[in-house]
Amino acid sequence: MPTTHQINHQLPLVVSRIAIIGGGVSGLAALKQLSHYNPILFEATDSIGGVWGSCSYSSTKLQSPRSDYEFTDFPWPNRDDPSFPSHLEILNYLDSYVKHFDLRKYIKFSSKVVELRFIGDRSGTGPGEYGSLLPGQSVWEVAVQHNESETIQRQAVSKFIESYLLWKLPLIKYGLKPEHPFVEDYASCQMAIMPENFFDEADKGKIVFKRASKWWFSREGIEFEDYTKIAADVVIFATGYDGKKKLKTILPEPFQSLLESTSGVMPLYRGTIHPLIPNMAFVGYIESVSNLHTAELRSMWLARLVGEKFKLPSVEKMLEQVSKEIEVMKKSTRFYKRHCISTFSINHSDEICEEMGWNSWRKKSWLAEAFSAYGSQDYEEHEIM
């Protein structure tokens, strides 16, 4: 049977209780940054890691180098290894992170959040209003189930990469050449790296590709719109992961509707809070080239917001900022129906740093600032809080 936990956000902040849902990369980043508030993290399974632990095959690997997927204060021990780490290496890295910062004591395993109820704010803030992040005595009740030339440059770079990929991979041979430019996949965070020996298996006939916009089940298996058939005993729906749907199952109205947008993007300020949903933040619903870095930097921002180290702009300005970001995404790619900031992630990080009172120039010299690539380690906290 579900049990309930009341998360009472009451000033002063030293007596506040913060709940975090999910022990994946984003949840762990938030947990570490907010650990001095004695939070509680609800994890539905018996282990940390999120999709790295529950939705990974033996061949699953990270799609970027180690140095692009690490916490600012916990670098990989072998960060110069050019190979892409396996999902088991990722899980070991996350487990080491939890042990190093003594975070396990805050985690409640086998605790699935099935419902969130907004009890209200005794000081007057309610749905549709926004004060400070933790105004008065706002209470959320958590029901837990315990069990289990920019255009020219862009086109030049895009065409060069496309030519290289077409030369390197047999995309034309198998009818897999996209009808859109590479840069649109990049702008929508939809790039993917093929598993090892993928096309070798296709050459052997073990993998067969079939492009079809319509299909249906038949007695023998599957039938397509051109009336061809494939005999199949098992059909796997590889439709991807949609965290927004899971969120909507536990969030009540009117808050649920506030997260809906005609653009398909969750309208979150700094990719973290909705100006009209009090005392709640969303880490992990914004994507970039490195989702770990994206989640950690926003968790840093969130911790300073909770600690009242800076003040938010007005609700109107926050909503206006969200609308501007969505327009940028629309212009970058036709596949904008997800909060992807890959084409302006550094600018996004600069704005977050400035809002926190940090210097947005993270390098030690102007030469490095101008010519060196940015990485997670550049955002290690040096400023005094």
Supply the mean pLDDT for the chain.
77
Q: Which whole number is the average pLDDT over 193-212?
A: 77
Backbone angles phi, psi at 42, to 5 degrees: -95, 120
Residues 307 and 359 in one domain: yes
Mean per-residue pLDDT, 166-174: 61
Is 348 part of a structural domain of the chain? yes
Residues 294 and 181: their CA atoms lie apart, in Å, by: 25
pLDDT in the model for residue 102: 97
Query: What's residue 296's pLDDT?
Result: 93
152 exposed, middle or buried (CB, 10 Å; 0-12, 13-18, 19+)?
A: exposed
For residue 277, is it within any domain? yes
Give the pLDDT confidence score for residue 151 in this predicted structure: 44
The answer as to whether 51 is a domain residue is yes
Lowest-pLDDT choice from 173-187, 274-288, 289-303: 173-187
At 245-280, the pLDDT tens digits run 777 778 888 888 888 877 777 889 998 999 998 888
Number of domains within the chain: 2
Domain membership of residue 109 (yes or no) is yes
- State the pLDDT confidence band at 34, using cuts at 50, 70 and 90: very high
| One domain for residues 209 and 119 | no
User: Per-residue b/e over 303-317, b at no fewer than 16 CB within 10 Å?
Assistant: bbbbeeeeebeeeee
Per-residue model confidence (pLDDT) at position 338: 63
Q: Containing domain of residue 64, as a range?
A: 3-148+241-379
Q: Which pTM value belongs to this model?
A: 0.71
Q: For 63-72, how does the pLDDT look when each residue is reduced to its tens digit (9 = 90+)?
A: 788 888 999 9
My answer on whether omega of the bond before 254 falls inside 30° of 0, hence cis, is yes
247 and 370 part of one domain: yes
Considering the domain boundaries, does residue 384 fall inside one?
no
Residue 45 DSSP label: S
Whether 49 and 190 share a structural domain: no
236 in any annotated domain: no
How far from chain centre, in Å, is Cα 29?
11
| Last residue in a domain, options 178, 200, 231 | 231
Residues 194 and 256 in one domain: no
DSSP string for residues in 299-358: HHHHHHHHTTSS----HHHHHHHHHHHHHHHHHH-S--SS-B-GGGHHHHHHHHHHHHT-
Say if 368 falls within a structural domain: yes
Indicate whether 269 and 302 sit together in one domain.
yes
CATH code, domain carrying 111:
3.50.50.60
Q: Give the pLDDT confidence score for residue 317 in this predicted structure.
A: 93
Question: Strand (E) positions, 161-265?
Answer: 215-217, 221-224, 229-231
What pLDDT is stored for residue 130 in this prediction?
45
- Strand bridging mode 137-146 / 215-217: unpaired
Are both 225 and 316 inside the same structural domain? no
Q: Are residues 112 and 225 in the same domain?
A: no
With respect to residue 123, please indicate whether it lies within any of the assigned structural domains.
yes
One domain, residues 373 and 252:
yes
Return the minimum-mean-pLDDT range out of 32-36, 82-86, 119-123, 359-363. Answer: 119-123
What is the enclosing helix (H) or strand (E) of 293? helix 291-306
pLDDT band at 385 (very low <50, low <70, confident <90, very high): very low
State whether 182 and 266 are in the same domain.
no
- Confidence at 336, pLDDT banded by 50, 70, 90: low
